A = this chain, B = another copy of it.
Amino acid sequence: MERNATLFTHTKRFQYNATPDAPDPVFAKQMQELIGGQWGEMSVMVGYLFQGWNCRGPAKYRDMLMDTATEEIGHVEMLATMCARLLEASPVETEKAAENGGDGGIVGSVLGGQDTQQAIINAAMNPHHAVVSGGGSTPRDSNGNAWNAGYIVASGNLLADMRFNVTAESQGRLQVARLYQLTEDAGVRDMFSFLLARDTMHQNQWLAAIEELKADGLEDTPVPSNFPQEREVSEVSYRFMNFSEGQESQQGRWAEGPSMDGKGQFEYVADPEAMGPEMDELDPPVEPRLYSTPKQPMQPSSS
């Protein structure tokens, strides 16, 4: 296909294989986490798009964000297709069961004559896959929670956001790896092998971008590094405070030695002092017409 130079376009090939060996409605339910879960592909798709659109930094960062954002749309596509195919045979299976056993419904009563495996599937599958999407995936997680934009961030500060991106690719790859263990379907595992590889790249990519941002002198720890650090209460800037019994927490890298930003020394405080005043009561007389409870009985009041 010839294409002229306009915005987003879509081709009709998958980035990689997206066909299971066999249907599995229960796994389809679990795999929804990768589509519309907190760390699913919709989150990286929408997150990177908005980070790219909000980007006011050098072109290479914006371009990279748009590259990967665009790739992620295709990842949602593969997962959505895989999910639809995992849902395909369930009616077929049941139809056969119905022929054999006279069980008329698609799924039928759990107490009906169908076999135990089918009964388990019918009872456990995501009701939305039958009733709402009619055999397709939904932009929701494995518990049916709608994807929402509270999962993502695009702050305009590239280091803050790329730290988020490292997280997202870490949580995402972790979830793919766990789901890999929850299925033995070779087709599903084949696609997961591809997603795992891309998540490996993307973890590396955002870690590299973080280094690049520092090398370019654009941002550093502590984010935002352009806030003048002398305005901090600097005596607590590198102090680890022990607020729970026991001092096992003293044994880590965070408790002594130079701080990671190279600007201070970690210090361990076993018994942190309150630096603030005694918690005095909220003082001013209550505005009576808000009807919050005062310290003393008051006369009824209205304007």
Size of interface on A: residues with Cβ below 8 Å to B:
227
Beta-carbon contacts under 8 Å, A248-277 to B: 248-254, 259-261, 264, 266, 270-277
Which of A54, A142, A264 is the most central at the interface, judged by chain B CB atoms within 10 Å of its CB? Answer: A54
Q: Do the beta carbons of B54 and A104 come within 8 Å of each other? A: no
State the oligomeric state as a number of copies.
6
Are the CB atoms of B148 and A243 closer together than 8 Å?
no
Complex: chain B residue closest to A270, CB-CB: B1
A119 to B, closest residue via Cβ: B120
B274 touches A92 (CB 8 A): no
Beta-carbon contacts under 8 Å, A85-107 to B: 85, 88-89, 91-92, 95, 98, 103-107
Contacts of A12 in B (CB 8 A): 244-246, 278-279
Is there contact, CB below 8 Å, between B170 and A293? no
| CB interface residues, A 1-45, toward B, < 8 Å | 1-19, 24, 26-27, 29-30, 33, 36-39, 42
CB-CB contacts of A282-303 with B at 8 A, as 1s and 0s?
Answer: 1010111111111101111111
| Distance A203 CA – B263 CA, assembled complex (angstroms) | 12
Contact with B along A228-240 (1 / 0, CB 8 A): 1101111111111
Query: Would A67 and B241 count as touching, CB distance under 8 A?
Result: yes
25 contacts between A and B (CB under 8 A): A6-B271, A8-B9, A11-B244, A17-B277, A19-B277, A39-B153, A53-B137, A54-B84, A57-B295, A63-B247, A71-B272, A81-B282, A98-B303, A104-B184, A120-B120, A123-B123, A131-B175, A132-B153, A133-B155, A134-B291, A146-B150, A160-B171, A170-B223, A203-B261, A216-B297
